[in-house]
Each structure stands twice: as structure tokens, then as C-alpha cells.
Structure 1
Amino acid sequence: MRGLVWFRRDLRTLDNTALIQAIRTVSDSQHDNQGLMALFVVTPEQWKQHNLSPMQADLIRRRLVTLSEELKALNVSLHVGTVASFNECPSLLAQLCARFNIDQVFANAEYEVNEVIRDEATQKALSAQQVEFSLLADKCVFTPGTLLNKQGSYFKVFTPFKKTWLQRFSVEQSLVHKPKTLERNALLDENMQVNSDLDYPTADSSKWHSDTKTVIAELRRFAIERASDYQQDRDFPAIDGTSQLSPYLALGMLSVRQCVARLLNGRHPEQLDIGEQTWLSELIWREFYQHLIYFEPKLCKGRAFVPWSDNLHWQGEGENLAKWQRGETGYPIVDAAMKQLNETGWMHNRLRMVVASFLTKDLLLDWHDGEAYFMSRLVDGDFAANNGGWQWSASTGCDAQPYFRIFNPISQGQKFDADGSFVKKWLPELKDVPTKYVHCPWLWADFGSLDYPEPIVDHKQQREKALQMYKDAKGSGD
């Protein structure tokens, strides 16, 4: 028995269902020539189409080195192959299977449309060679399709989804499994090196960890020290109140089961305090969005969840998109958030909602532009979560914010960054502005002395335009 385990966005050895199953299957075969190899496929053109950020690409590059070392400790070698796009993956897999006499390929299932098409084509190509292709459920606690409402349909609202998730959950589902070391491996190649050149633009990701020990330590530190205060601290960007584990979840450096297990620490969800329950709820939100793209492939094709929103006539001025991207809108909380994104590849979750609302309902610009820009910059870029968040903010999605609820960028800043400490960190040109004016500096008598732009739009006027724009779209029917 010879196997191949295909890594995708599950770059870990601990609690990796496909890897564990592959090692178990090969070990149980008791064949003299048994072997297992690991594969990661670089797809530069596909990454470009998917707006993979250079910073996330760099984190992938660094992580592959760690993954290779961890696999070597399990007596497995990692091979890194390169093809332009997903279209060439089936032929690459078929060639490798023929070259190394592979009997079975193992991989963890992914639910985005392009990934599903890739895997279906791979299944067909391998089947022609009598190679078995096993897709394992790994990404979610509850595999998409297993959590349905009483009518047998998928949940379109988060709250009942979460309620059912919690009702069905058992602590056994968050058990973290360790892979065994493969005792004999005829496919072990001690000289196999991981190519650090991904043939793709990269940006420095060194702020984010690539080694498992440190990532798990970050998870443990958050669960012990900050999770209980998460509910009260998470909305304030100047406070270190969020987990900042999203980059590791996005690339599968951590599994959701590891997060749930560490948070519960042997308890049942109902025994968690309010802060811990709130963070668990955020993990369930991530899962909700994974289920949505499984049931609604149109979300991966640029379509909105709500049909009437296809009628939205975006009225914004194109040049304002670039000003929003650069953090030059004249609204400090928006600009500071965009500066944080551009420099670190990450943005505080409250601010993701603020800047998304601002783009769609103040600048009246298409949410697709914001979705794409986020993916091109985020180190934690994850299609389902990013799409779900943007459609929620733009009021076009499943269980979305009502279109008439529009964030006021001034009051959001005053409420969640009252003393302006976050704003002044990212916009040092405002460091001398009195607290009273830090979120509306144009009202300050000395505003003319600042190297900071006036607001590019009037929030009150744009709010009325947005309400009419959405009302017209909804009134024109489905």
C-alpha cells in the first residue's frame, strides 16, 4: 500500500484528519514496500485569480518549511509541486501517482466552487488509473450537510444554526488527534527540499508565527488570559482583546477542534462564562459561512445571497475607492483601520464592519470592490468568512444587517476609541488633536494646520442616498 496525502489550507500535522487517516491506512497494510508521501501544490495563477495577499503567500512559504520538518519527524517527506492553476492539479496528481506507484490519495475536503471542481476532476483522473481518492471531513466541527433545520434544509439565519450546533455538540467532537510516526516508509526522501520560491509576490509576514509551538502557545494564552474578557473587550481596537488567531485558522495551522478543545478545557459549552461563550460563537460564525458556501455555490461566483440586491445601482465615485484603500477618507476611524490593514495584513473585527459599511453606504461603492481588496491584503484571508462579512455589512447576504442600519463613522469612533488612542497610533498626524475632535478633526479650530484631508463625503447626506438606493433596489422586485 502506497499513499499520498495532499495538503491544501490545512497546513498542520496535529489533528489533520487526512494525514492521520493516511498514516493509519499505510501502517495497517503491512506491505513490504509500503510508503507515504506528502504534497503541497503551488498554483500562482489561481492565487492571483483568488486575490491571495502577498503577506498570506509569505506565511504559506514560511509555514511549508515548518510543515516539512514536522512531517520528517513522522518519517514522511513533503514534496512541493507547482502548476499554474487548479486545472492542472489532476494531471500533476496523476503523474505523481504513476511515478511513485501510489494506490490511494488522501485530502481534506474544501467547499469553495473552484476547489470542488478541482477535486471532482482529480477524482476522475485518478479513477482512470485505479487510484482511490479519499476526501475527509476536517474543516468544521459539523460537516456541511449534517446540520439541517426541521424542514431538512440548511439554516439561513445564524441564531438557530448556533442553537442547533450547541444542542448537537458533544465534547468528543473537539478531541484533538495526534498522528503516529510511520515506522517504515519506502517513499521517504531525506534529500527532498521545500522550495521557498512560490513564484508569487510576497510581503513580510514575520509579525505572524509560522511554528506550531508558538501558535499553540498563543491559543493557550488567549484561552487562559483573555477569553473571559472577550465579550467586553473585543469591540475596542486599542485593547488587545481579540484572539488574533484568524491567520492560523485561515491556513489550517490550527484546526477549529483545537480552538474549541482549548477553550472548553474539559467543560461543556454551557459551563463557559459570557466572554468564552462569545468567542465560541465567533468560531461557530466561521463554520456557518463554510456551510453557506457549501449549499450556495453562487456565493463563490460573485453573486449576492439576497436576489433583490442584484438590482442595487452603486452610485459612488470611482476615485473614492482608491482614497478608501489608502486610508484617506477624512474619517479617522476608517483611515486608521485601513492603515492597520495595509501595514499588518490584519484588521480589528469591529473596524472591518465599520469600513465595510462606510464603503457601501457612505461611498455607495460596490461591496465586491471591498471584498477583493480585503483578500488582496489580509494575512487571514478566508473566502467564506470574508464574503460572509462583506455581504453582512452590505446587507446583501444571509442573515445580514438590515439595509437601513448604517454605521456612523464618527460615533463608532467615539464609542469604541473614545480617547483616540487607536486613531493616533495609525494616524500620527492627528496626535495633537484634542480628544473632543479626534473623530471629527475638521471641526477643530486648528484643522488647517494638519496634514489630513477633509471628509470626502458628508455622512448625513450619503446616508439618505444609501437608504433610497437600497429602497429602490428592494422595490424593483426579486
Structure 2
Amino acid sequence: MSIHLCWLRNDLRVHDNTALWRASQRGQVVAVYLITPATWSEHEEAASKVDFWLRNLTELSRELGERNIPLRLVEVEHWRDAPRALIKLAESMQASSMSFNDEYGVHEQLRDQAVADAFAEADLDCQRHVDQTLFRPGTLLTQSGSMYKVYSQFRKQAYSALHRQLPACLPAPERQQPLYMASDPVPERVKGFQAVSEVIRTLWPAGEHAAADRLALFTEHLLEDYEDTRDRPDIDGTSRLSAYLASGVISVRQCLHAAIGHNLGEFDSGKPGGVSWINELLWREFYKHILVCYAHVSRGEAFRAEYQDFNWRHDPEGLEAWRTGRTGIPIIDAAMRQMLATGWMHNRLRMLTAMFLCKNLLINWQEGERWFMRHLIDGDLAANNGGWQWSASTGTDSAPYFRVFNPATQAQKFDPDGSFIREWVPELSSLSPREIHQPLSPARLAELGYPQPIVDLKASRQRAIAAFRGA
């Protein structure tokens, strides 16, 4: 039988993997993964995320091995080397075709097209598939034929499409005949990326089984109350599947079907928890479509052109205090320290910390976007950029410029007894639930060893509103 390559990227699973399944229907499959350290560095990929990829590749190699599918690893410096490396591998194996799932973003799309063109020039078949999203980006459009800029309108169109046809989940490939070819060993480290703490590795176990276990725990025990608990960083109330989704260890279709199953077959009505989580899955979808249909966003530009040259403040000391969790605003510091220690931050806190940087400190959202990508194990260009531009009021369907979250009142609402703050800001662990949310005197702060606030929340809010109004 002929050999068919399956090029894996952020789709590190055997179940419901469109390219892998389609390749398995054509003949004998050999999976291939490219390690590209220079590109990963350029794209600010977090060390925790690279480590997560490697650990998931190890688990995936075992799963593939049970199906007699070898995993070949090829290291090249940059994505520009991908066409040559993949053609060379295909020729050495006398492979007749290759399949892969499309990825999104300017560089990713250029790379994928370059590979497809190289295979066409070599007279080799190249099959591309939609897998990261429920719908091919650019197919949910307004009546005028443009991509939506408002999420609620996009969601309405997505609901309509899902009512017409729900995307199915594909099975894992069946066991194939042995190819007498060993899988390549997965390295424990990649040059240029530091070692990751055991804390992070324990918090984020690798493999499809780990992702499936978390999905089951969430849908069976947490999803019922998700609408009420999803904004509470002090309790385990969210899916915590973002890292698995970002690396493709679980698919968005698997998540959607689990939510619909919980919701007794409904996705836009029924149980509030299920509807709310499906809404979050569609936000993820929306931002990926934005990335494709408005390419300037993928190039690091503001979605709204009027803010591209906004006069942001240059404040290195403020930026460093924000990065390290030393702003003197407890909920902000707790959130930033959580990310540095675990590679993850609760979504409500992502909005709070982003808005604090962009509005209270008036520091360019791009600084925060980069910092998050460097440290998040679930770093995803579309979702990260979309969230940052929403908070900075520079993006599509973003928060109005005059909307500025007050971190103190948000902490009182979503961390009422201060347990989250105490966990990550031990300097304040002795304070009562009432004290922890109240302004403290400089003397008391010095006694606790905690910094004074680097900015006045009320005055900085007024400054931000004036600056945005002027723009």
C-alpha cells in the first residue's frame, strides 16, 4: 500500500483529527512533526507551552504506536524551511501524498500555502482540512459578504449553521499493518527554552486521556453551575481545557458535543451553564475567524485603525511592576503571580490585568499581549490578541473606552473572602476578608512587606478616559 504523510501541528491527538483520519483512509500513514525553535522564539511561545507540546508528543507517539503509525520528528530552524524538509521526507519514504489541518495567522497561512505549492511542484498530492474551527474561516459572513465585527451577530449566524448541520467527531484511525519503521524519540528539551517547573507539569498532565478526564469532570460536576461560578478565581469553576484546546490535544467538536450532551441536545437554549460554555467556545471561533478575515490583526496592528498610533505612556517601572505582580493592587498581583507560577490565569483575571495595564497605566496593549504569550501554557494568538484588544478598546466588539474595571470592586465581587489573593500574595495572608479588600496605610503596608499602589485607581481611570476621548 502507498504511504501517506500526516503533518501534525496543534492537533496532537488521534481521536477526531481530520487530517489523520483522512490519511488513514487512503493507505499506510506516517505522522510527522516539525520542531522549529527559531519560529517558536519569534512567536513568543512560552517555555511551558513548548514543554507541554513535547510531553503531549510523547503521549501521542504511544497512541500512534498502538496503531502501528510511526511518528517522525524533523528539526528545522524556521517555518520557511518546512516545504524543503517535508518534500525531502516524502521523497525518502516514497510517500504519495500528505495531509494536514489548516492553521491560522499570517505566518501560519503563508507556511501552509508554501508547503502545498511545493508538493504540487513535486507532483505530490497535498490534502488540507478544516479542523481547528467548527466552520472554515470566511464562510460565516454578513449579507454584504464581509466578516462580522460584532460577536453577537456572528454567534447568531453560527447558531443558525449549527442548527442546519452539527459537525461530527471522527474516530481514531484503526490499527494498520506494521511499516517496520521506528518512531523517533521525543526530546525532553528544545534549545532556547528553559526547563519548566514540576508544579506546571503536575497541574497540566499530558495526553488525550488527561484532556478527556478533565472534560468529563467538568461536564459531569462543574458545568451545571458554570454560569454562576465561571467568574470566580477562588474556586474550580471553569473547564481548564484551554491548554488542551490550544495544542489540539482535544478538539472543539469534542467539547461542543460534550456540552450539548450535558444540555440534553440543545446549544442555544436549555441549561444556563451549558449555553454559557458553548458561548465561550464560539468566542474562540470568532477570534480565529477575525485573525483570517482581518489579516492586519495577525501582524500585530490594532483592529481599529484610529488607535494604531495611540499615544501610550512609556513607563518601564510600571510595566515591570505589573509583570512581576508588584503593583500594590492585590487582585492584579495575585493574578500575575498565578500566571508566572502555573502558566495559566483565570479568564476574569485576564480581563482585569489587561485593562489595568492598558487603562490605569496607559501602557500599550502589545506589551501585555507579548508577556502573556511568553508565559501562558494555553497561549493562542487569536484568543490572546482578541482578549487584549477587547480590554484595550482597540479591537472588534471591544469594551467601550470609558469602561474601566475597578480591580478593588471586582476583587470584592469575585474573590469575596480574599482566599485567592491570600494564596498568591502571602504578604496579605494574615488579613481578614474585610481588611484584604480595603486600602491600607503606608505604615501597615510596610509592616506587611507589600508595596504601596503604583497608581491611584480613580485618577488613572479619569486619565484613561480623557486620553481615549481625545483619540
Which TM-score applies when normalising by structure 2?
A: 0.95
Letter in 2 for 1:381: G
Distance 1:115 1:3 in 2: 22
Structure 2 contact 105–295 (Cα < 8 Å) conserved: yes
Partner of 2:58: 65
Letter in 1 for 2:215: L
In the TM superposition, 1:438-457 aligns within 5 A as 438-443=436-441, 446-457=444-455
Q: Secondary structure at the match of 1:79?
A: strand
Please state how far the C-alpha of 1:270 moved relative to its aligned partner. Answer: 3.8
Which range moved further: 222-231 or 14-23?
222-231
**Structure 2 residue aligned with 1:81, among 58, 74, 86?**
74
Letter in 2 for 1:190: A
Partner of 2:182: 190
> Structure 2 stretches of 5 or more lacking a match?
none
**Structure 1 residue aligned with 2:419, among 401, 418, 421?**
421
Q: Secondary structure at the match of 1:114?
A: helix
**Does structure 1 residue 254 correspond to structure 2 residue 250?**
yes
Distance 1:118 1:85 in 2: 10
Partner of 1:217: 213
Letter in 1 for 2:111: R
Partner of 2:98: 105
Partner of 1:45: 38
Q: Secondary structure at the match of 2:412?
A: helix
Partner of 2:20: 19
Distance 1:111 1:470 in 2: 31
Aligned length: 464
Distance 2:459 2:289 in 1: 38
Partner of 1:226: 222
Letter in 2 for 1:38: A
Summarize the Cα distance change of 1:64–1:191 in structure 2 as closer, same or farther, 3 Å threshold: closer
Which range moved further: 95-104 or 6-15?
95-104
Structure 1 contact 437–444 (Cα < 8 Å) conserved: no
Please state how far the C-alpha of 1:411 moved relative to its aligned partner. Answer: 1.0
Distance 2:52 2:372 in 1: 17
**Structure 2 residue aligned with 1:330, among 325, 328, 331?**
328
Distance 1:299 1:395 in 2: 14
Q: Secondary structure at the match of 2:239?
A: coil
Q: Deviations over 1:420-473 (max 9, x none)?
A: 111011111101223223134424873331100000111111112111211122
Partner of 2:345: 347
RMSD: 1.5
Distance 1:78 1:64 in 2: 9
Letter in 2 for 1:264: I
Distance 1:7 1:161 in 2: 29
Distance 2:110 2:268 in 1: 39
Which range moved further: 390-399 or 441-450?
441-450
Structure 2 contact 51–189 (Cα < 8 Å) conserved: no
Distance 2:175 2:393 in 1: 50
Partner of 1:378: 376
Please state how far the C-alpha of 1:413 moved relative to its aligned partner. Answer: 1.0
Letter in 2 for 1:253: V
Structure 1 contact 363–462 (Cα < 8 Å) conserved: yes
Partner of 2:3: 2
Distance 2:218 2:287 in 1: 24
Percent of paired sites with the same residue: 38
Structure 2 contact 14–173 (Cα < 8 Å) conserved: no
Distance 1:345 1:121 in 2: 33
Please state how far the C-alpha of 1:154 moved relative to its aligned partner. Answer: 1.0
In the TM superposition, 1:129-208 aligns within 5 A as 129-170=122-163, 173-186=166-179, 188-190=180-182, 192-201=184-193, 202-204=195-197, 205-206=200-201, 207-208=203-204
Partner of 2:241: 245
Q: Deviations over 1:230-256 (max 9, x none)?
A: 111111110111111100000000000
Distance 1:192 1:131 in 2: 24
> Structure 1 stretches of 5 or more lacking a match?
27-34, 474-478
